[in-house]
Structure 1
Amino acid sequence: MLYRNVAVRSAFRALSSSNASVARSALTNNVLKAPLMSSARYPARPATSPSFAVTGYKPVTTALIRHASTTSAGKDEKQPGEEDLDMMAGIKSDAKVIKDTFSLEHVPKEALYLGMAGVVPYLATSLETVYLAWEINRASTLGDGLIFSGQSAELMLHLLESVQVGYGAVILSFLGAIHWGLEWAGYGGKYGYRRYAAGVLAPAVAWPTLLLPVEYALISQFCAFTILYYNDARAAASGRAPHWYGMYRFVLTFVVGASIVASLIGREQIANTISTEHTINDKINALLFLQKKEKEEADARRRAELGQEEESE
């Protein structure tokens, strides 16, 4: 009896141990299958412990991430209308910057109106030069101009040359004299000869251009206007002139410079058509020839007078 009970207990122990090993093996297989499945689906995931392998795959979190990414991508995509609005806003912003940069609202109205009126003769002579050049070209090609004949247009062009060059010399002298007025008023302090020099150099450069051929005279005055503007802009920036004077001078100098360039272009079109103007060398030679002729005539009169005196004796 005793041996029978021991045998039965041994059989039950063996059975229970075999069931435990089967269950343990089944659990191990299920746990090991999870990382294999997750690694097969998502090869980029780092290796994790078997206990966390089952929870590595989270379909709800993945769906939320995909939804957020598609939503942000949809917001980044702009409609054609929105791009047009952005472009128009950029253009308006650039136009506002340009308007503010070249603003003349701080310029006194009297100075602005008189300054703009002062460039009208430049514009008028420049446009007239271009038109007369067109008339001369038309007359040389078709035999007659539209309103004026070729000779009349050429004569009027030579009259305009002296007007434009002479007016430029007057304006340059006037711009130089402004610095004398600023020095006398003590604007920004006293600078002495440094400020007086600008008023002296401007007419010293301007008036000799009256003796030059018109093309050289216009080019010289263009350079003089540019250099004088540079000096005026520095004076405004350093406090030696009103703060608005630099932009004011830039606008006026731009109009004058454009007028001079237009005149030069118009004259270039008829360089081989009109008769050449007398150069400064021609004028000097003519003056010397006239002096020599007058001297010869004076000597001839003196000899004639001496001859008459000898005959009377």
Structure 2
Amino acid sequence: MFYRTAAARSALRALSSSNAAVARSGVAQNVFKAQLTTATRPTRLATSSRLALATRKPVTTALIRYSSTSAKEDEDTDMLAGMKSEAKVIKDTFSLKEVPKEALFLGMAGVVPYLATSLETCYLAYEVNRAQLLGDGLIFSGQSAELMLHMLEPVQVGYGAVILSFLGAIHWGLEWAGYGGKFGYKRYAAGVIAPAVAWPTLLFPVEYALITQFLAFTFLYYNDARAAAAGRAPHWYGMYRFVLTFVVGASIVASLIGRQQINQSANPEHTIADKISALKFLAKKEAEEAEAKRLAEAGEEDSE
């Protein structure tokens, strides 16, 4: 019995020692393999990194070129979109779509006489200068152009006074209609000041009259634009007045430039009746001279 127990214990000891040896040998083998793997890894990593850089370099260059090209295209697209947006804003700002057609057409027709007298003033000034330099005008003689120019003066100044008075009277109509509320003397004042400034210009020398009316048109536009912004006039009235005032102002400036080119030989001290009589007399005289010249040429042909 004793011997059997001792034999069993020795057998168990031998088995446990053999298992420990096997475990130790397995751990050693794993450690050895790990050392070998660790020793060979830097070479593999270095080789793989070099291959990756060599493979990735052309792709990286292409990506850089593509990104720079796409950035330029995006910048051009953004610039074009910005220009289109700004053009749309300008178009919407100066749009007259909301203006009633009747008011738009009649307003444009109302500036035509002012524009026509301005262009005629510039042309007659050219004729006067041409006659003084070359002895005769292109269509009219120097004296005829001068008289016609003096006849245009009261027409242009008088028409400007009428338009200014009309623009002032609009505010009386808005007050009577109660557009935007009742404002009393504040709105009536615009209708009173406009003719009070416009009609005395008929007594001024033409240059001073045109300058005064230019300032009056500008002031009335400023007042009308403020009224439209404040709701005391239709919202489209400010832009409508801007377009018409721009045409009238450009016509006045053109007239002043044209008159500035005329020499001081023109005599402004004539009444309208004197100007009409002198123009008729001149036309009659020129017709008689042309008839006499024609008869003289006919007589010379008969004598030959």
Taking structure 1 as the reference length, what is the TM-score of the superposition?
A: 0.66
Q: Secondary structure at the match of 1:119?
A: helix
Q: Report the equivalent of 1:275.
A: 266
Q: How many residues align?
A: 235
Quote the Cα distance in structure 2 between the aligned partners of 1:81 and 1:143: 64
CA offsets per residue over residues 18-67 of structure 1, 9 Å max, x none?
xxxxxxxxx9xx89xx7xx9xxxxxxxxxxxxxx9959945426744762
The partner residue of 1:123 within 115, 124, 133 is 115
Q: Secondary structure at the match of 1:159?
A: helix
Alignment partner of 1:219 is 2:211: yes
Q: Report the equivalent of 2:247.
A: 255
Alignment partner of 1:171 is 2:163: yes
- CA apart distance, 1:129: 0.4
CA offsets per residue over residues 144-200 of structure 1, 9 Å max, x none?
001100010000001101000000000000000000000000000000000000000
Q: Unaligned regions of 5+ residues in structure 2, if any? A: 1-35, 271-304
Q: Report the equivalent of 1:198.
A: 190
Moved more, 246-255 or 56-65: 56-65
CA RMSD of aligned residues (A): 3.4
8 Å Cα contact 1:213/1:278 also seen in 2: no
The partner residue of 2:149 within 128, 149, 157 is 157
Q: Secondary structure at the match of 2:258?
A: helix
8 Å Cα contact 1:136/1:150 also seen in 2: yes
Quote the Cα distance in structure 1 between the aligned partners of 2:57 and 2:236: 59
1:287-306 superposed matches below 5 A? none
Paired AA for residue 198 in structure 1: A
- CA apart distance, 1:202: 0.3
Q: Report the equivalent of 1:43.
A: none
Q: Secondary structure at the match of 1:77?
A: helix
Q: Report the equivalent of 1:110.
A: 102
Alignment partner of 1:230 is 2:226: no
Q: Secondary structure at the match of 1:217?
A: helix
- CA apart distance, 1:215: 0.4
Quote the Cα distance in structure 2 between the aligned partners of 1:79 and 1:187: 54
Q: Secondary structure at the match of 2:186?
A: helix
Q: Report the equivalent of 2:7.
A: none
Quote the Cα distance in structure 1 between the aligned partners of 2:59 and 2:163: 73
Paired AA for residue 277 in structure 1: P
Q: Structure 1 residues 82, 207: CA separation in 2 closer, same or farther (over 3 Å shift)?
A: same
Quote the Cα distance in structure 2 between the aligned partners of 1:222 and 1:62: 77
Paired AA for residue 275 in structure 1: A
The partner residue of 2:174 within 174, 177, 182 is 182
Quote the Cα distance in structure 2 between the aligned partners of 1:54 and 1:68: 20
Q: Structure 1 residues 61, 238: CA separation in 2 closer, same or farther (over 3 Å shift)?
A: farther
Q: Report the equivalent of 2:257.
A: 265
Quote the Cα distance in structure 1 between the aligned partners of 2:197 and 2:77: 53
Q: Structure 1 residues 146, 183: CA separation in 2 closer, same or farther (over 3 Å shift)?
A: same
Q: Structure 1 residues 138, 85: CA separation in 2 closer, same or farther (over 3 Å shift)?
A: farther
8 Å Cα contact 1:140/1:273 also seen in 2: no
Q: Report the equivalent of 2:279.
A: none
- CA apart distance, 1:77: 2.2
Moved more, 59-68 or 221-230: 59-68
Q: Report the equivalent of 1:18.
A: none
Between the two proteins, what is the percent identity of the paired residues? 72
Q: Report the equivalent of 2:126.
A: 134
Q: Unaligned regions of 5+ residues in structure 1, if any? A: 1-26, 38-51, 280-313
- CA apart distance, 1:228: 0.3
Q: Structure 1 residues 79, 134: CA separation in 2 closer, same or farther (over 3 Å shift)?
A: farther
